[in-house]
Amino acid sequence: MPKPATSSGPALRRNQACQQCRRRKLKCDAGRPHCGTCVRQWNALIAVPPPVGFSHPPAPTCSYDPVEGVPVAPESIEDPVERIKVIEAQIEDLQSKLQNARREAKQNGHDVGKSPSPPTQLSPEMARSTRGTTSGSDKSKDRSPTISPQPYLLSSSPASSRPSTSPSVSVSERKHATPYARPRAATRANTTTGSSLHLPVRRPPTSSRSLPTDYSPQAQSDKDWDLNLPAPNIVAHLVELFFQNEPCSSRILHRSSFVASLSLPTSHPDFPPLILLHAICCASSRWASHDAPNRQEKFAEFHAAKTRGLLESALQANTTDLSILQAAIVLQYWAYAEGRNLDIKFNARPFLEPTPSNTQMEEKRRAWWSLVMFDRYVSLGAWKPSVAESNLMAIELPICTVDFECESLVSPNPQKVHDPTFFLSHPIGYTDSYIILIKATLLFGKVTEYNLTVDSRPSRRSGDPRDTAVFRALDHLVAVDFLQSLPDDYKSCLGGGSNGSMVDADLYLAHVLPYAATISLHNAHIDYSNPGCPSAVRCIQAARSIIRNYFLLSGTLFDIKRLHPFVTVCWYLAAVVLVQLCKRHITTGDRGGEATVWGEIETLKLAMLEFGNISPIGLRQEKLLQETIDDVIQKPVLPANFGLDIPMYTYPLQDLTVSLSEHGSPEGSTSFSTTGYL
């Protein structure tokens, strides 16, 4: 009888064998990193081809019990629950070591929270890696890395780690990175030959705020944080919601610099001003999840009151800090989305003084043009715009959003408002959806200005204004030329190559505004008793175009509540025209046409109600439309000039009181005005 094999090595102590051999009750030599038994079994396993859809492990599966004092690699633990526990323990250990290091540094007189590290320069290798030919998704990743899921960003090289506006979408994808949205040839040098797309070289901006590498808002003590603000993590969450969802005022802030400055100590001069944080908390409350609407409303009202109080104090003290102007704009757009107006008077000129920082100067440009656009929106059918057309060139047009967010070294936008080809020329490198929206808004403002300067009442005019050269030129520019002149990448309201989930809210409104302007221009001349009335034909075509754009949008995954609030006014104008058309079908007995138009009216009403779930302006416009329907449909006789009886105002007449520099604001007035711009 053969003698049993004896082990040549010493006997193993308890639990010294690998876990796999102990589980299968096999002999083990405790070899590292893999014992002989596990290696033999792995060699036998890989000798046989794996089944379809499966693959063999790249190395033997052999793990040992942890030894005291020796860290365990998480990937060596099979049980996922145990692996998570090990990772959490390592994180806690690192955090405690970090806290101890900070405490020792503070005791030694070195305040790590107030010593920002200098920005690092791009090495030649890194600079070369940002150039060359890329394709597909790699191209968008090179242009703008996606943002980290953490609410706080720490960066030693802001130029090389610039976040995008959406958590998983790059800047170039969000803004349709076409040749129209790229920097000029001066920033496109040293690209590989044969590349169809030239990517800019990202240089470290000279004005970026660099941060301590070991600082986060959670580390700030409670005594350093303002008691009227939510906790630092909640503020950071609201800031993220603001940049991700706010379609208007978020365009005026440099996202990465602002988010990074939240990680600074509250005593740091670059920490965001309190007034701006209150304004963002107020605006972001619409997008935060909440169970009790009353609680959300109280939260917004509280921060709106704080912002307004700080704003009035700053204006009385003649403070010209840019954050004051930015906070006022954020508050104005919030009030507009809430269906209210805001009475704020200030001189914008001191806020627009030149500054050596390119980023801050661009923020001033965007603040100015955001203010101009807001002025055009609220002046629809109500009063003369506060910002005269002669003052529009107080500051240049903004540069492309992708250049602004990446802090590219780009010369100012050369386009001039008073250029005869301003609305029809879109130069490459200085055109994106936001700049097109500015042009569309100014075009809408030209129509409002014309309606206010020309008395269109039949009893007051000597001839038909539509026969004048000024009217014909404006009509053709608004209804035809502007949209036809857009570059191919911007001819669709959804954007070129959009997959349905990447709709640009700026571009969508830029496509809707010309149709709304056409309705506003022809409203006073509509005569539905005459089937061949050119104004009626124009308005019906414009209304149907607005409906068509809405159907295109509703066929995507885009949430319409993230559109600009002024889109509800455009829907209202289109619905008013359809109500007139429906009345004509009722009068003539056209049941088929009546049913079709009623369906279109109900579609726009539902769109306003859906938008009203987050912005009360949608509910207000729907209520105004319903009152118009009740008033029009119940009329027994069709008036000769039906359009004059339709209210075209954004708000009811009692809310249209205006306070200008030469007139005091009436008691109870809630209007917005800015006086003495230049």
Note the pLDDT tens digit of each residue in 480-528: 999 999 998 898 888 765 455 578 899 999 999 999 999 999 888 888 7
Domain hosting residue 634, numbered range = 454-647
| Confidence (pLDDT) at 219 | 45
Say which amino acid occupies 73. Answer: A
Kindly report the average pLDDT of the chain as a whole number: 73
Say which range, 182-191, 290-299, 657-666, has the weakest mean pLDDT: 657-666
In a domain, 44, yes or no: no
In a domain, 183, yes or no: yes
Q: What is the largest CA-CA distance in the chain?
A: 129
pLDDT category at 147 given cuts 50, 70, 90 is: very low
Do 498 and 399 lie in one domain? The reply is no
With a cut of 60, say whether residue 645 has pLDDT above it. Answer: no
Place of tokens 């022809």: 522
Do 387 and 330 lie in one domain? The reply is yes
With a cut of 60, say whether residue 469 has pLDDT above it. Answer: yes
Report the pLDDT averaged over residues 51-62: 82
Report the pLDDT averaged over residues 648-663: 35
| Confidence (pLDDT) at 635 | 60
In a domain, 366, yes or no: yes
| Backbone φ/ψ region at 603: left (φ over 0), alpha (ψ -120 to 50), beta | alpha
With a cut of 80, say whether residue 148 has pLDDT above it. Answer: no
| Confidence (pLDDT) at 81 | 72
Say which range, 530-539, 545-554, 599-608, has the weakest mean pLDDT: 530-539
Cα 147–Cα 438–Cα 372 angle in degrees, nearest 5: 105
Domain boundary pick from 417, 442, 475:
417
Give just the sign of the alpha carbon dihedral 227, 228, 234, 237.
Answer: negative
662 burial type by CB count under 10 A (0-12 exposed, 13-18 middle, 19+ buried): exposed
| Confidence (pLDDT) at 518 | 94
Interaxial angle between packed helices 616-633 and 591-611, expressed in degrees from 0 to 180 and rounded to the nearest 10: 160
Do 406 and 481 lie in one domain? The reply is no
In a domain, 372, yes or no: yes
With a cut of 60, say whether residue 646 has pLDDT above it. Answer: no
Asked if residue 33 has a cis previous peptide bond (ω within 30° of 0), the answer is yes
Report the pLDDT averaged over residues 241-267: 89
| Number of domains present in the structure of the chain | 2
Percent of the chain with pLDDT over 70: 68
Report the pLDDT averaged over residues 150-161: 34
Do 344 and 460 lie in one domain? The reply is no
Report the pLDDT averaged over residues 104-124: 49
In a domain, 614, yes or no: yes
Do 643 and 540 lie in one domain? The reply is yes
SS3 (DSSP) at 102: helix
Report the pLDDT averaged over residues 451-459: 65
SS3 content of the chain, % helix, strand, coil (to 5): 50, 0, 50
Report the pLDDT averaged over residues 35-43: 89
Please indicate whether residue 134 or residue 492 has the higher confidence score (pLDDT).
Answer: 492
Half-sphere exposure of 626 (CA within 13 A, CB side): 10
In a domain, 547, yes or no: yes
Do 274 and 407 lie in one domain? The reply is yes
Do 270 and 352 lie in one domain? The reply is yes
Do 618 and 477 lie in one domain? The reply is yes
pLDDT in tens, 328-367: 999 989 988 888 877 777 777 788 888 888 888 899 999 9
Residues in the chain: 678
Please report which helix (H) or strand (E) contains residue 594, including its range: helix 591-611
| Confidence (pLDDT) at 109 | 55
Do 384 and 240 lie in one domain? The reply is yes
Do 402 and 490 lie in one domain? The reply is no
In a domain, 126, yes or no: no
| Confidence (pLDDT) at 70 | 52
On whether the pTM is more than 0.85, the answer is no
| Confidence (pLDDT) at 57 | 85
In a domain, 222, yes or no: yes
| Confidence (pLDDT) at 436 | 95
Do 459 and 397 lie in one domain? The reply is no
Do 394 and 459 lie in one domain? The reply is no
Say which range, 417-421, 444-448, 451-455, has the weakest mean pLDDT: 451-455
